[in-house]
Structure 1
Amino acid sequence: MNNWRFKEIVVMAALAVVFGVVYLAFLPLGSLLVGFMGPIGYDFIFGIWFIVSIIAAYILQKPGAAFLSETIAAMIEVLLGNAVGPMLIVTGMVQGIGAEAVFAATRWKNYSTWVLIAAGMGSSVTSFIYGYFMSGYAALATEYVIAMFVVRLISGALIAGLLGKALSEGLARTGALSSFALGKQQRKDAA
């Protein structure tokens, strides 16, 4: 983080705090979906829990933005009272690693729509592998586990990738991000 500007750190932290609250707010909806559909219910909206990694990375376009924002958001969620407790921080790190790995594969130089979608799916993959071992998915029918994985991949692509892109670009259009990588790119594209 030695090449990060102070305002980039502040924006990343602010996004993480906001989405830590959002993540906690989505837990009742997830529980409701699980009540109606079983464990796959969470997978339909799982992408919401990856979104800050996509937004922070897209806005800042710096190594570590996806991983750090997701980790901080998990810490905020724990501080606000998530019942999972401190193990949730590990979950946030696992989710952040999935997105960060995709950005790292491009050497943090490509933030196209397809890369953002792939980053959301990257978080889906790492979180699913972690969840498979930590949440006992092995006890479920193989077809059901495959369906859970596919639904989570789609959720990561659509909610984290595409919605994260749309929210970031909407914020950039306000001019609030004019001194950040995304804002500069939008001005360049408009010229």
Structure 2
Amino acid sequence: MFKWNLREIVVMSALAVVFAIVYLLFVQVGNVFAGLMGPIGYEPIFGIWFIVSIITAYIIRKPGAAFLSETIAAFIEVLIGNVNGPRLILSGMIQGLGAEAAFAATGWKRYSVWVLMAAGMGSSVFSFVWGYFVSGYAALSPQYVLAMFVIRLVSGAVLAGLLGKYVGDSLGRTGVLNGMALGKEMKRKKAA
């Protein structure tokens, strides 16, 4: 059940590359929002930086899918030009662990919309704790930090969880995932 095949590795890697590019583009969007609103400007879109872990885990449904895909995406993002450098790889690992924790809590057996949203929120919590220490959130007012945290939680649930499910389901409907766990589940539901 937990052994990975070559096709799963290729799908995970391809998703990581695609979302590394998306992540790098969204850094620029976040910079614009932060320039207008301060540090809280990143929070409404923060969930986008967790999405590959949700999509990959939803498609493959094996331990490590969320963690590995997020880590690989962060590594590739550094290679293609993110100015945060190697620290970003550690951030990706932490975000992937947050999502992985939600899937682990179900024994990697449930991938409902609620579990996917919880995984996005898990990434939000893990990344926020990390960000609190490395980004100097302690210098901000407690109310501002709380507002940042709540917005990130919502963003993780919606942009990573709900949007991740939508993207996964959309890919599944094309038939390209027929050999993956999600594709097999979609076939069973269609046949029933």
Q: Structure 2 length normalisation: TM-score?
A: 0.98
CA distance in structure 2 between the partners assigned to 1:40 and 1:32 by the alignment? 12
* Correspondence for 2:17: 17
Count of aligned pairs: 191
The letter of the residue matching 2:60 is L
* Correspondence for 1:122: 122
* Correspondence for 2:44: 44
CA distance in structure 2 between the partners assigned to 1:188 and 1:7 by the alignment? 20
Which ranges of 4 or more aligned residues in structure 1 deviate by more than 6 Å? none
CA distance in structure 2 between the partners assigned to 1:4 and 1:154 by the alignment? 32
| Matching of residue 88 in structure 1 with residue 88 in structure 2 | yes
- Render the CA deviation track for 1:62-115: whole Å, top value 9, x for unaligned: 100000000000000000010000110000000000000000010100000000
CA distance in structure 1 between the partners assigned to 2:142 and 2:181 by the alignment? 43
* Gap regions ≥5 residues in structure 2: none
| Matching of residue 132 in structure 1 with residue 132 in structure 2 | yes
Q: Give the superposition deviation at 1:142.
A: 0.2
Q: Give the superposition deviation at 1:2.
A: 6.8
The letter of the residue matching 2:159 is I
Alpha-carbon contact 2:119-2:161 (below 8 Å) kept: yes
CA distance in structure 2 between the partners assigned to 1:190 and 1:139 by the alignment? 53
- Render the CA deviation track for 1:115-165: whole Å, top value 9, x for unaligned: 000000000000000000000000000000000000000000000000000
CA distance in structure 2 between the partners assigned to 1:53 and 1:71 by the alignment? 9
* Correspondence for 1:34: 34
CA distance in structure 2 between the partners assigned to 1:109 and 1:93 by the alignment? 22
Percent of residue pairs identical: 66
CA distance in structure 2 between the partners assigned to 1:189 and 1:38 by the alignment? 46
* Gap regions ≥5 residues in structure 1: none
Supply the RMSD in Å over aligned alpha carbons: 1.0
CA distance in structure 2 between the partners assigned to 1:59 and 1:124 by the alignment? 21
- Render the CA deviation track for 1:1-43: whole Å, top value 9, x for unaligned: 9710011001001100110011001111100000111101101
* Correspondence for 1:77: 77
Within a 5 Å distance, the mapping from 1:87-166 to structure 2 comes to 87-166=87-166
The letter of the residue matching 2:79 is L
Within a 5 Å distance, the mapping from 1:54-73 to structure 2 comes to 54-73=54-73
CA distance in structure 2 between the partners assigned to 1:189 and 1:2 by the alignment? 23
